Structure 1
Amino acid sequence: MIDLGPHAVFIVWAYVGVALGIAGLIGWTLFDARRTASELSQLEARDPRRQRPADATP
């Protein structure tokens, strides 16, 4: 393994923190995308006149 010197613990924990932060952002994005899609389908079901045409691409 590469010798990180006296600051090895800080460097490792910094990488762990960044990895957890990115994983949290990805998780939040997936959660929010599903929630938004669910809200959109509920709104479309409430007022069928405002639905997208069947041949429209998202």
Structure 2
Amino acid sequence: MVLGPYAYFIVISYALAAAVVLNLIGWIAYDYRNQKARLRALEANGVVRRSNGATDSR
């Protein structure tokens, strides 16, 4: 595959795009685990989610 005189720019651009996508995937995975841990902590303290079918006390 011949990329011509702009090969360096093309390769660097694809590498940076891949790095950004991988960082976003890592950030999402980290945030997901963090949110799940926070949710478990809230549930351990007695906070109940409405989505679990809890009755409204109004």
TM-score, length basis structure 2: 0.80
Q: How does 1:1-58 map to 2 (within 5 A)?
A: 2-47=1-46, 50=48, 52=52
Q: Structure 1 stretches of 5 or more lacking a match?
A: 54-58
Aligned-pair CA distance for 1:47: 1.0
Inter-partner Cα distance in structure 2 for 1:22 and 1:46: 36
Identify the residue that residue 56 of structure 1 maps to in structure 2.
Answer: none
Deviating beyond 2 angstroms after TM superposition, the runs of 4 or more aligned structure 1 residues are none
Report the 3-state secondary structure (helix = DSSP H, G, I; strand = E; otherwise coil) of the residue aligned with 1:47.
coil
TM-score, length basis structure 1: 0.80
Aligned-pair CA distance for 1:35: 0.1
Q: Structure 2 stretches of 5 or more lacking a match?
A: 54-58
- Backbone CA RMSD of aligned residues: 1.3
Q: Percent identity?
A: 37
CA-to-aligned-CA distance 1:18-48 (integer Å, 9 cap, x gap):
1100000000000000000000000000116
Aligned residues between the structures: 51
Inter-partner Cα distance in structure 2 for 1:39 and 1:18: 31
